[in-house]
């Protein structure tokens, strides 16, 4: 597949460069060159019109300009929604529009991920970890670059996991970070069924596989279809000294065979992701959830259990009802053995300014213990 290109005119001559976007946003059709002389109001107006601003000024001034544009976007009035579902859809549309506008401030890169601007940071490692090597110049949005740098810091510092005795998990860019520790604690505390093997469906960072191995399981087979996730899990398991007990397999859902315990933490919201990095949060038409439930009975050893880790946020938002979930479980030939609940501890659950606060404040995360009917 041919990489997309960005086209613009500079110094009265046509120019072009490769376009990079992790969110798969298309390159702006119209691009103007901008520098420290442009005002925030001018930049905001052009961005709202869909014009890309290729920055040639001071890098730190570009960051300040992005902050000023962000303030203008966030001041836009929002109509009150009649229902939580309407509020969710309105919030998603506003977030997509916000990302489109703020993504119009563009940064040039030389080969090797070098930023040829005054006072630019050395972002080579952050960009290489996300994109791989860069053999040619390219252009990307400043907002996306800041996301890469932030992800690099998370990967460098790691996330402390109480269920691992305070050891850290280091998330890679594009792999869901286990910052919400309540679901990890559920897996650490639920009673284990008899047996010494488990399957971890959708391994992500490897945190749940590590918890299961630390709980004494001799063998964990962990799957994912995303090469980034598998690389991330492999690095974390090596750091924790667990590679001899966890086998990583590239697969869509289940590995071959059966196990006494099969664990899955699918994306919690049945909605369409707006970019590849959102697939850890949004599961279109509950594809992964349905796939896990429908295939679970065939992959459980006799007397085995499937652990489904799921938030009820989708129920509060009107995206899926509890009856819908129970019907999926029954249709898959499964029964509920038990359900262990916990409340989220993240800051957004208590943020009254969040447009979805009414749903988040009531959210419960559950570990559903399932068995063959």
Clarify whether residues 198 and 346 are in a common domain.
yes
Tell me the mean pLDDT in the region 336-359.
83
Same domain, 54 and 164: no
- pLDDT at 24 (0 to 100): 87
User: Is there a single domain that holds both residue 193 and residue 117?
Assistant: no
For the stretch 214-271, pLDDT in tens is: 999 999 999 999 999 999 999 999 999 999 999 999 999 999 999 999 999 999 899 8
Report the pLDDT value the prediction gives residue 348, as an integer from 0 to 100.
65
Distance CA 279, CA 293 (A): 19
What is the residue whose two structure tokens read 């792999």?
175
CA dihedral for 163, 167, 171, 172, sign (positive or negative): negative
Nearest to 272 by CA among 81, 83, 89: 89
Say yes or no: 202 and 344 in one domain: yes
Same domain? For 62 and 186 the reply is no
Residue 254, pLDDT score: 97
pLDDT the model gives residue 346: 67
The CATH number of whichever domain residue 367 belongs to comes to 3.40.50.150
pLDDT tier, 124 (very low <50, low <70, confident <90, very high otherwise) = very high
Main-chain dihedrals φ then ψ at residue 8, nearest 5 degrees: -155, 175
Share of the chain above pLDDT 90, in %: 85
**103, 137: one domain:** yes
pLDDT computed for residue 316 by the predictor: 94
Please state, in angstroms and rounded to a whole number, the distance separating the CA atoms of residues 222 and 206. Answer: 8
Q: Are residues 223 and 278 in the same domain?
A: yes
Rounded to an integer, what distance in angstroms lies between the CA atom of residue 328 and that of residue 50?
43
Domain boundary among 132, 153, 174: 153
- The per-residue pLDDT for 80 is 84
Give the pLDDT confidence score for residue 204 in this predicted structure. Answer: 96
The answer on 177 and 38 residing in a single domain is no
Domain count for the chain, please give it: 2
Supply the pLDDT for residue 266: 94
Q: What is the pLDDT of residue 322?
A: 96
* 38 pLDDT above the threshold of 60: yes
Given a cut of 80, is residue 324 above it in pLDDT? Answer: yes
Confidence of residue 1 (pLDDT cuts 50, 70, 90): low
Please say which residue of 120, 153, 186 terminates a domain: 153
Do 347 and 211 sit in the same domain of this protein? yes
Q: 287-317 burial, b if ≥16 CB within 10 A, otherwise e?
A: ebbbbbbebbbebbbeebbbbbbbbbbbbbb
For the cut 70, the answer to whether the pLDDT of residue 44 exceeds it is yes
Which pTM value belongs to this model?
0.91
Query: Is 60 exceeded by the pLDDT of residue 6?
Result: yes
Whole-number pLDDT of residue 82: 87
297 pairs with which residues across the strands?
none
Contact predicate 182/338, CB 8 Å = no
- Predicted local confidence at residue 66, as pLDDT: 98
Average pLDDT over residues 131-154: 95
Give the rounded percent of residues in the chain with a pLDDT score beyond 70.
98
pLDDT score for 180 = 86
Return the pLDDT at 278: 80
Same domain flag for 166 and 308: yes
Domain housing 302: 159-372
pLDDT reported for residue 159: 95
Kindly state the average pLDDT of the residues 117-130: 95
Domain ends where: 98, 128, 153?
Answer: 153
Based on the domain organization, do 184 and 316 belong to the same domain?
yes
Tens digit of each residue's pLDDT (9 = 90 or more) over 48-101? 999 999 999 999 999 999 999 999 999 988 888 889 999 999 999 999 999 999
**CB–CB of 259/304 below 8 Å?**
yes
200 & 119 share domain: no
Using alpha carbons, select from 176, 187, 178, 183 the residue that is nearest to residue 160: 178
pLDDT at position 350 = 66
- pLDDT at residue 197 greater than cutoff 90: yes
User: What's the mean per-residue pLDDT of the chain?
Assistant: 94
265-293: pLDDT as tens digits: 999 899 888 777 787 889 999 999 999 99
């Amino acid at each position: 597949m041919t990489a997309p290109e960005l086209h613009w005119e500079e110094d009265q001559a046509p120019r072009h460069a490769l376009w990079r976007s992790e969110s798969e946003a298309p390159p702006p059709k119209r691009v103007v060159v901008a520098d420290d002389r442009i005002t925030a109001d001018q930049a905001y107006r052009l961005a709202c019109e869909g014009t890309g601003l290729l920055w040639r000024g001071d890098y730190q001034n570009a960051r300040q300009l992005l902050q000023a544009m962000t303030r203008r976007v966030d001041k836009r009035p929002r109509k009150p929604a009649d229902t939580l579902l309407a509020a969710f859809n309105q919030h998603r549309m506003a977030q997509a529009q916000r990302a489109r506008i703020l993504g119009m401030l563009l940064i040039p890169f030389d080969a090797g991920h070098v930023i040829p601007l005054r006072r630019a940071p050395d972002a080579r490692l952050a960009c290489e970890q996300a994109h791989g090597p860069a053999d040619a110049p390219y252009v990307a949005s400043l907002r996306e670059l800041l996301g890469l740098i932030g992800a690099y810091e998370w990967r460098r510092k790691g996330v402390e996991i109480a269920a691992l005795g305070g050891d850290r998990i280091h998330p890679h860019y594009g792999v869901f970070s286990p910052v919400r520790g309540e679901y990890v604690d559920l897996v650490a505390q639920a009673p284990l069924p008899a047996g010494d093997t488990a399957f971890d469906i959708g391994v992500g960072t490897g945190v749940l596989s590590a918890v299961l191995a630390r709980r004494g399981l001799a063998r964990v087979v962990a799957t994912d279809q995303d090469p980034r996730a598998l690389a991330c899990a492999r690095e974390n398991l090596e750091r924790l000294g667990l590679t001899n007990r966890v086998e990583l397999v590239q697969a869509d859902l289940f590995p071959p065979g059966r196990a006494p315990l099969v664990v899955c933490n699918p994306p919690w919201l049945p909605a369409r992701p707006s970019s590849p990095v959102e697939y850890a949060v949004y599961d279109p038409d509950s594809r992964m959830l349905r796939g896990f439930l429908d295939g679970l009975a065939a992959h459980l050893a006799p007397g085995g259990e499937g652990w489904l880790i799921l938030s009820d946020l989708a129920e509060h938002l009107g995206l899926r009802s509890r009856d819908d979930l129970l019907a999926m479980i029954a249709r898959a030939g499964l029964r509920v053995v038990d359900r262990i609940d916990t409340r989220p501890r993240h800051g957004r659950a208590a943020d009254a300014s969040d447009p979805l606060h009414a749903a988040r404040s009531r959210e419960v995360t559950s570990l559903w213990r399932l068995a063959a009917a």
